[in-house]
Structure 1
């Protein structure tokens, strides 16, 4: 289970196709390129366990770098292309990376970095950086003598604070082609394999897109790589490349469903056999509409970069239990705990914990690491949920997003899931804002499909719409409009930025 095996068996097969241009990287080319990368890292004196950092947009060379680091035992730190220079400097310093590869499209930010580190550019010149391509060309395309399995050291998206470096244990099996839990799940549960043509819609610096695309390579499939998500373009590429699998987030579904009917009907998506989604619970009406459109191929999982546990559910199971994110799969065991760390029974909400054998820590942050564990040493991502009698998990929201209004606990996800289905709403964030009497009041920040509609009439319409499905205490007391909500390219909402603005009284 490694690209080098597929390079030997099917050297001319496409490992990567650039969606927008059709440019192909074969398995033979990927194997040779990743070997040159590994040779180069060794030539710089980098040893197993040390860190290298990548600051890149979605380009096919990303895979050569990641696989090159993987096959010489390095930890590769993938940095969001949306960060500022100070934020990138923080990650470089915090991770202890010895070498940085930055893409030419990010030259303005990269050239402003202050961290003392060896700097290399990819795809063009960056002031103060050496060109990586020329250095790689001088390296042999053969494996390093001491191949050993490396792993990613990825940082969270920072939606609730500074990005957290997630340090999981290095692979117990040093063989670079060892079977990973994700590869076994991808093949055994989701049916991915050598025939997969997998549409990757999100940035590779994030854990899920990078992990799943590299898993497709382990299984011998083809990755169709989009430079960035676009709703109509995704449909076009599914038809063009006959994609039979791919990964999405609920925001992607919402945006595709909001396309005019004539555009949605223009593309044939019948090739899809497995459309995987995660990142956040999908509103039930949205997922039901996607299944009506694409068929029962929309499968879901719940997990985090921490890889402490994994639940999953097939479309047919979800139709029987709408809103569930599935049952626990793999070695970990699922627990729902109350505030005293006592496991609660079916139907009772509490913090979601996993008991399992995959340790992780937040790099250089022992307090945050300790906060992720309870007295049983079970670990949590900070989510709240419940299980039913059959063990199916239903998520409520992140504990940190809970609103306490007049002494009542309110979770924004339910409100957001309802409001986003309104035909004039493109996106929505619900937060708790200061209130003199209640402590917090429920505020919905709405991104309309058309900002020309952002008026009092739409406010009244949305309040009335909320009351059709929500109790009075959950109905927003205030609705504000924003031209575009601050979402990560992976679909995650930077709700912290919106909430902080209200509490800082920057929004009146």
Structure 2
């Protein structure tokens, strides 16, 4: 089946609707023509410094990349999405970098990813300079101005000056022709281990997580048809989650692939709920991604204290973490035309299952999704008795992990003649074909011989009055081997007796935490996902 590539698709949409708004941030409003021209200039800068395709994509192994790599060490903003698109126009593979990383973490990531160029905000100049100096050969450094006031250091280039000096002509005349086989690298957050570079073919990324599908859920591979649909679109996507994680990037690029205008809130170095809703109202946005209660709770508070016209909002896409049903009701009370779609997936699978709203209802499988048997050798069917197996995804999936053949072989399997990815979520296929997801195997706690899924206990705790967030971790115990400990926000959460009594109404006795730790510190990473290392650091020895 034919596939699309990001660079060609964006150029074709720009040719069809050149004067439509493509990107909005603060007082910057760029048309599709302007974004196309700026990203061609960036491609010229990268190509002019010798970056591009180094080998035949069809000849490399699943854990190898034939491209030079561009690191994006930025807060959200126009330059981030320009970096993604401009890299593809030069046949350079872009990859995300967590902007909270410090020297050693960044050096470890760069040792794995081997960037030939780094696009970064000026506020990060010092750490980039120290870490880039360790690389051989030294990468091309492109600095984006910000309010830090940091000057461009020797050896680096000012981003805007570099673009201004470059031609806006396409590289195709010089034989640089992007294709669906070109790679897009998404580094996982590393919440349960070291970050890993997931190698997506851009054609698979567009057909999968970026959502280029027709009403029958069939991938759109015809360029003319894709442009026709994009030209009719009236969507405006407000991207609040950081682009350094999949949820943010997929929302922005998925919007562009469908012809939408991508909008960023004024503040991009953290969540300003009131500002986010003010932007949504001002720009009449129609779609907005959420990342669980970490986003939904502050937004619900802002809805209740503000007076924002959010009638244009039609769709809220929630991923990575659950939303408490009570928070969902509060949030939607101020968005009369919106509905929430809850999606679950991973950097390796895209969106594997979906459901309307939140809560603890089962999920509907997305195209290509399945539940494998406990030994991961066969697909389960609704008549298999509800065996606890593994959530899997086939179809448009990545090739593997950069530089890691062992992990690639362990995660990407061939079952029944079909290649699937098994990221590690335990699941049960129900008699009606729906899927009950139990949680990531890496967060399972074995206590007294019983297996407890941390996410199940966390969902109960987050639904209790006086608890705004909760993570559950294991602690060594002489009696139980490992005992369950809950870390709760805020510091004034209910006392232990009240929490245990409330848990006993919804959980088996062995699942109830043996101890509770309270804090006002955040338990979430910038993308809203659980920060288990931070939670464990707050738990004292037994």
* TM-score of the alignment, normalized to the shorter chain, above 0.5: yes
The correspondence for 1:197, drawn from 203, 216, 236, is 236
Would you say 1:335 and 2:371 are equivalent positions?
yes
Indicate the larger mover: 150-159 or 493-502.
Answer: 493-502
Counterparts of residues 3-402 of structure 1 (less than 5 Å): 3-18=10-25, 21-48=26-53, 49-113=67-131, 114-116=133-135, 117-118=138-139, 119-123=141-145, 125-128=151-154, 129-145=156-172, 146-149=176-179, 150-169=182-201, 171=203, 180-185=207-212, 188=215, 194-226=233-265, 227=268, 228-252=270-294, 254-256=296-298, 259=301, 262-263=304-305, 266-284=307-325, 286-287=327-328, 290=331, 294=335, 297-307=339-349, 310-315=352-357, 323-329=361-367, 332-339=368-375, 341-344=377-380, 345=384, 347-356=386-395, 358-373=397-412, 376=415, 378-402=420-444
Aligned position for 2:497: 460
Cα offsets for 1:17-60 (capped at 9, x unmatched): 11xx2421221211111010011111111122221111111121
1:187 to 1:426, Cα distance in 2 relative to 1, 3 A = farther
Q: What's the TM-score once normalised by structure 1's chain length? A: 0.87
SS of alignment partner, residue 65 of structure 1: helix
CA distance in 1, matches of 2:541, 2:184: 39
Contact 1:303-1:309 at 8 Å conserved across structures: yes
Displacement of 1:282: 4.1
SS of alignment partner, residue 446 of structure 2: strand
Structure 2: runs of 5 or more not aligned: 1-7, 54-66, 218-228
Q: What's the TM-score once normalised by structure 2's chain length? A: 0.82
Displacement of 1:253: 5.0
Displacement of 1:82: 1.0
CA distance in 2, matches of 1:372, 1:99: 29
Aligned position for 2:220: none
1:180 to 1:308, Cα distance in 2 relative to 1, 3 A = closer
SS of alignment partner, residue 303 of structure 1: strand
CA distance in 1, matches of 2:303, 2:32: 39
CA distance in 2, matches of 1:485, 1:244: 29
Aligned position for 2:64: none
Indicate the larger mover: 2-11 or 59-68.
Answer: 2-11
1:386 to 1:305, Cα distance in 2 relative to 1, 3 A = same
Displacement of 1:73: 1.5
Root-mean-square deviation over aligned CA pairs: 2.9
CA distance in 2, matches of 1:180, 1:397: 26
CA distance in 1, matches of 2:335, 2:386: 31
Displacement of 1:69: 0.8
Contact 1:341-1:374 at 8 Å conserved across structures: no
Indicate the larger mover: 338-347 or 114-123.
Answer: 338-347
Contact 2:23-2:78 at 8 Å conserved across structures: yes
CA distance in 1, matches of 2:433, 2:331: 25
Cα offsets for 1:263-320 (capped at 9, x unmatched): 16x33322211111111344455546655664661113222222366333345xx79x
CA distance in 2, matches of 1:375, 1:2: 31
Structure 1: runs of 5 or more not aligned: 173-177
SS of alignment partner, residue 415 of structure 1: helix
Contact 2:207-2:396 at 8 Å conserved across structures: no
Aligned position for 2:512: 475
Contact 2:373-2:387 at 8 Å conserved across structures: no
Contact 2:184-2:201 at 8 Å conserved across structures: no
1:159 to 1:189, Cα distance in 2 relative to 1, 3 A = farther
1:96 to 1:497, Cα distance in 2 relative to 1, 3 A = same
Displacement of 1:212: 2.2
Contact 1:30-1:63 at 8 Å conserved across structures: no
Displacement of 1:207: 1.9
